[in-house]
Structure 1
Amino acid sequence: MAPTNPAPAPPDAPYWWQAAPRPVPSREAPPTAVDAVIVGSGLTGLNAALEIARGGRSVVVVEAQALGFGASTRNAGFVSRSFKHGFGTVEKKFGLAYALQLFGELDASVRAVERRIAEENIACFMNTNGRFLPCASEAHLAALLSDLDTQRKHMGFAFTPVSRSNVTRELGTDKYVGGAIVHGLGGLHPGLYHAGLLAAARRAGVAFVDNTPVLSISGQQGAFRVRTSRGEITCRDVVIGTNGYTHGLLPWLDRRLIPFDAFMIATGPLSPEAMARAIPGGKVTIDSNHNALFVRPSPDGTRVLFGGLTGSALANLPDKGRHLQRMLGTLIPSLAQAELDTVWTGKCAATFDLFPHMGCHDGIYFAAGYCFVGVPMGTYLGTKIGQAVLGRREAASLFADKSFRSMPFYNGRPWFVPLVTRYWQGLDARTPSGAIAA
């Protein structure tokens, strides 16, 4: 449900805000004392707030911008269970038992989204008609099919191989050598999902204070002082749920997160025939390039949404949009003349081991570093953090047990991300799909 009094949308607003605009700024003053302060109003914060509030504790969510301003309403809306690490890689490095537990939790994160949507009756176009994974090279294809076959053997995850000749049944392009459809996955409308969670949290009694940066956190568990731009709040527990927008509140966490920009565009409205030519399979798609390209139909089936150039310098956003528009037209020729409606960006966060993490440091709870699976992991780990605050056994997770490492001399400012991005683009330039980023 969209807010009844939406704030005017800025020119670089995400496409998702058209159906789910940001609420108008509130005038409520922060409370002076609560049981729990949640920093950040995204998926992590809202799911944690729901759990804690329904556990009988008073909760306030403090947001530096408009509610839901960050990546939770800017992402592609994919609901998946994939990382940069395949099942076979994890099994080889950590053992079969570990791989089974990890991928079991990945699947649980998808089911957590489905369960939250059903429990809160959120209308957000959730669709599990499959996830298409096209491959940029024969080597990528062989590795993908081998790993998916291993997942099917050990986890029962169903998939269907797609030959080169059948790629066009899913996507209107000849840039890929084949791929696979992973069943039971899909996408949603992230703006409407966030709006539904926000409404559920309000019903649970959660208080919200927006446009109020948190300046510092001091004290200890059971007796924290959270200083904001509009006054101080004392509380028992603090949760940080700011992911790619984290900086300054917990330096220990800053040194372990790698924020980076992701970019997307939306075409103007397209006819049903044009949509059928561009994305005949109607599925969310992400390819095998190191710096992946991703494409999907809008939930109402009227536009194509496209992303790429992840991690590149922000520079001029309109120029970035035109670059992505050219890339989309090269990838899917039927869209070469499609109008550019919207371009936007948002900050994601990776980690040095490319796994999400949750935990408690110096008494402050956190979940972050979602590594391209923000919708399911923000939901799943946000819920787990809420359970941890309540001291419940259900909070146990492999993502809380993993060692969360940093890099010497790293202070949270990822100077190396553009260099890594250019390196990846150099590798991808050897494939027909990867070369279109040039």
Structure 2
Amino acid sequence: MNAPVSSPDANAAAHPTLAELARGPVPPSAGIEYRPYWWDAAPREHAAPPVPPNADVVIIGSGFTGLSAALTLLRHGRSVVVLERGVPGYGASTRNGGQIGSGNQKFRVKRLIELRGRKKAEAMLREGVRMLDYVGHLIESEGIDCHFSRCGRFRAAIRPEHYEAMARDMEDLRQVAGIESFMVPRAEQHSEIGSDVFYGGSVLPSDASVHPGLYHAGLVRRIEELGGAVVGQAGAEGITPDGAGFSVQTPRGTVRCRNVIVATNGYTDRLVPELGRRIVPIGSGLIATAEIPEAIFSRLLPKNRAYGNTNRVFYYFRAAPGERRLIWGGRIGRVAGNTSPLAFRHLARDLLHVFPEVGSVPVTHAWDGMIGYTYDEIPHLGRTATGVHYALGYCGTGVSRATYFGHKVALQLLGDREGQTAFDDLVFPAFPAHPIAKRAVPVVETWYRVRDAADGTMSSLKRRS
């Protein structure tokens, strides 16, 4: 039986509606909760236990990567301390949309083959499926109540040419990696989504969804039950080689250990410069609505899947588990911080473009988080020249990749051959001019939005001619 989710909003009338947020300006004092909806059912704990002086392994970062690694190590008899700069789970592991895919969405199959060769591409794609399966296996074997569901994913085509390209790619995916899917033409898309703005789409029926807050909380409980420590307010300030191991300095004390794993993804800093140069953080924002009347909701999301689209600057959405809320995500606004309605206005606009009939529905929550992007848009795990293990760079598909890579990097640390992956021998490139790359993110995003709009205009003109 799944853990309960939050109840419908008793004070929904105090919140601005989607239409009001989309039009703007909405005053900062408007009744929006600027924190993840997921925290309603899984509040972030604020107690900070002492920093243990010794451990076999110190893991830096308390997201899905770090917790998955910790669980694997504990089950292999190692003592583990997980260090977190803030409250455990404060970062993107409890700030994402809770969609779980195979991690194969970044490249079309033919493009991946061009980049990596057919043999390597096939290995990477097949391992992507194992990532998805591993999440389901872990949740079931650990008995974590977090609304895991094999709901499937509908990816909507923004333009007719996107539909045709997607159909070819889905066939390539089946031939190369054995991944099953099916296409839904525009004439039949109301069986998948109650909107007329798309041109059909594809369905990956094995993709899944989860309540990320409850998933994270469940992992923490298992780790603590096995004797591991998850310590907040204890960010690592330095890693120093110390004889046969390391000393990890925190503002609350030093931990001596045999091994270190860095699992910071979008929150990677200069703690390990070799890794800091290889990750650019990109903001992602989400909003949650109040409950939508059943008659409308069942028409909008008839199969209750996870959803996305084919734009360069894409959006993604789903229903909250057990409720008729919409959880809608996309890139965060570039102008304001995470406590300003202006930062989330474009999300309401995108939502109403797809579902114009819900303009009067209130917006209850708005939040953001950081995605860790790599230069080659491929996740990486391995070991630095100084012997520090790492797993990071999930490029927006972190629920499955982080869980799986955390497990695998832990096995690699143990010298277990089961830790081998198709990603082990990939070069991990640094970003050229890394500081400039970080500052360029909003400019690139704006350029992509312009290109998406221009492509849509050209496509419309071609259809009329």
State whether TM-score is above 0.5: yes
Q: 1:373 aligns with which of 368, 387, 397?
A: 397
Which residue is equivalent to 1:322?
A: 345
Which residue is equivalent to 2:258?
A: 236
Which residue is equivalent to 1:68?
A: 89
Bigger CA drift: 318-327 or 38-47?
A: 318-327
Pairs within 5 Å for 1:260-409:
260-310=282-332, 312-315=334-337, 317-361=340-384, 362-409=386-433
Q: 1:33 aligns with which of 54, 62, 80?
A: 54
Bigger CA drift: 84-93 or 224-233?
A: 84-93
Question: Cα deviations across residues 169-227 of structure 1 (Å, max 9, x unaligned)?
Answer: 22222111111111111211111111111111112211121111211111168321100
Instruction: Give unmatched runs, 5+ long, in structure 2.
Output: 5-31, 460-465
Distance 1:203 1:412 in 2: 44
Distance 1:54 1:271 in 2: 46
Distance 2:312 2:222 in 1: 38
Contact 1:79 1:375 survives alignment (8 Å)? yes
Amino acid in structure 1 at the alignment position of 2:289:
T
Distance 1:118 1:406 in 2: 37
With normalisation by structure 2, the TM-score equals: 0.88
Relative to structure 1, is the Cα distance of residues 294 and 283 closer, same or farther in structure 2, using a 3 angstrom cutoff?
A: same
Root-mean-square deviation (CA, aligned residues, Å) is 2.1
Bigger CA drift: 49-58 or 313-322?
A: 313-322
Contact 1:175 1:433 survives alignment (8 Å)? no
Distance 1:283 1:244 in 2: 26
Query: What is the deviation of 1:332?
Result: 0.8
Instruction: Give unmatched runs, 5+ long, in structure 1.
Output: 4-9
Query: What is the deviation of 1:433?
Result: 11
Contact 2:282 2:441 survives alignment (8 Å)? yes
Query: What is the deviation of 1:2?
Result: 7.9
Which residue is equivalent to 2:122?
A: 100
Relative to structure 1, is the Cα distance of residues 434 and 37 closer, same or farther in structure 2, using a 3 angstrom cutoff?
A: farther
Contact 2:335 2:342 survives alignment (8 Å)? no
Amino acid in structure 2 at the alignment position of 1:423:
W
Question: Cα deviations across residues 252-294 of structure 1 (Å, max 9, x unaligned)?
Answer: 1010001011000000112222211322221110100001011
Which residue is equivalent to 2:191?
A: 169
The reply to whether residue 137 of structure 1 matches residue 181 of structure 2 is no
Which residue is equivalent to 2:75?
A: 54
Bigger CA drift: 213-222 or 169-178?
A: 213-222
Contact 1:358 1:399 survives alignment (8 Å)? yes
Query: What is the deviation of 1:430?
Result: 3.2
Relative to structure 1, is the Cα distance of residues 196 and 102 closer, same or farther in structure 2, using a 3 angstrom cutoff?
A: same
The reply to whether residue 251 of structure 1 matches residue 250 of structure 2 is no
Question: Cα deviations across residues 354-384 of structure 1 (Å, max 9, x unaligned)?
Answer: 0000011021111111011100001000001
Contact 1:311 1:421 survives alignment (8 Å)? no
Bigger CA drift: 363-372 or 205-214?
A: 205-214
Amino acid in structure 1 at the alignment position of 2:221:
A
Contact 2:33 2:366 survives alignment (8 Å)? no
The reply to whether residue 216 of structure 1 matches residue 242 of structure 2 is no
Distance 1:314 1:355 in 2: 29
Distance 1:356 1:328 in 2: 30
Query: What is the deviation of 1:229?
Result: 0.4
Distance 2:310 2:457 in 1: 9
Contact 1:77 1:189 survives alignment (8 Å)? yes
Which residue is equivalent to 1:85?
A: 107
Identity %: 34
With normalisation by structure 1, the TM-score equals: 0.93
Contact 2:153 2:203 survives alignment (8 Å)? yes
Amino acid in structure 1 at the alignment position of 2:90:
F
In structure 2, the residue corresponding to 1:416 is in which secondary structure? Answer: helix
Question: Cα deviations across residues 35-79 of structure 1 (Å, max 9, x unaligned)?
Answer: 111111110000111111111111111111111110000101111
Distance 2:33 2:47 in 1: 18
Query: What is the deviation of 1:311?
Result: 7.4
The reply to whether residue 149 of structure 1 matches residue 171 of structure 2 is yes
Distance 2:454 2:326 in 1: 26
